[in-house]
Structure 1
């Protein structure tokens, strides 16, 4: 799975959620994807449907999920948001 995700697309999806989403306790949610960042903005997070994606400094990322089909569904949604 390493290096399969394009950090630029992930950040475009993050921006789409932040621009179009409604407020949550941590950030904003749009199309079932919640996005938020840490206090300094160096790490951004997106989560939904049992999947969490963290994008860190120098475009590193970490994807947590329990089931592959949930990961695939989440990544399709992120790709749709990045358009």
Structure 2
């Protein structure tokens, strides 16, 4: 599966998860999605139980998943957050 990520989309969704989500330690959770940063704040992590997205400096990103369908479901959740909040 070719993963093309809209940088403004992921940053916007990350911000919405932080703004409207529930904070637990250094992580925020909203609608089954967890979002957090590394210690220096340069790398964002957005994940659910089946997909992990690491988004870093210079707009570099990496998905970790086992099945393309999981990424589709993950992306759908992110779009729902973007539309609802």
Say yes or no: TM over 0.5.
Answer: yes
CA deviation vs aligned residue, 1:55-76 (integer Å, no higher than 9, x gap): 0001111011011111100011
What count of residue pairs does the alignment treat as equivalent? 82
How far is the alpha carbon of 1:7 from its aligned partner?
Answer: 1.1
CA distance in 2, matches of 1:53, 1:24: 19
Please list every run of 5 or more consecutive structure 1 residues that lacks an aligned counterpart in the other structure.
Answer: none
CA RMSD of aligned residues (A): 1.3
User: What's the TM-score once normalised by structure 1's chain length?
Assistant: 0.89
Q: TM-score, normalised by structure 2?
A: 0.87
Per the alignment, residue 35 of structure 1 pairs with: 35
Runs (4+) of structure 1 moved beyond 6 Å? Answer: none
Deviation at 1:79, TM superposition (A): 2.2
Report 1 or 2 for greater relative contact order, CA contacts < 8 Å, sequence distance ≥ 6. Answer: 1
Task: State the 1:53 CA deviation.
Answer: 0.3
Structure 2, gaps ≥5 residues long: none
What does residue 60 of structure 1 align with? 60
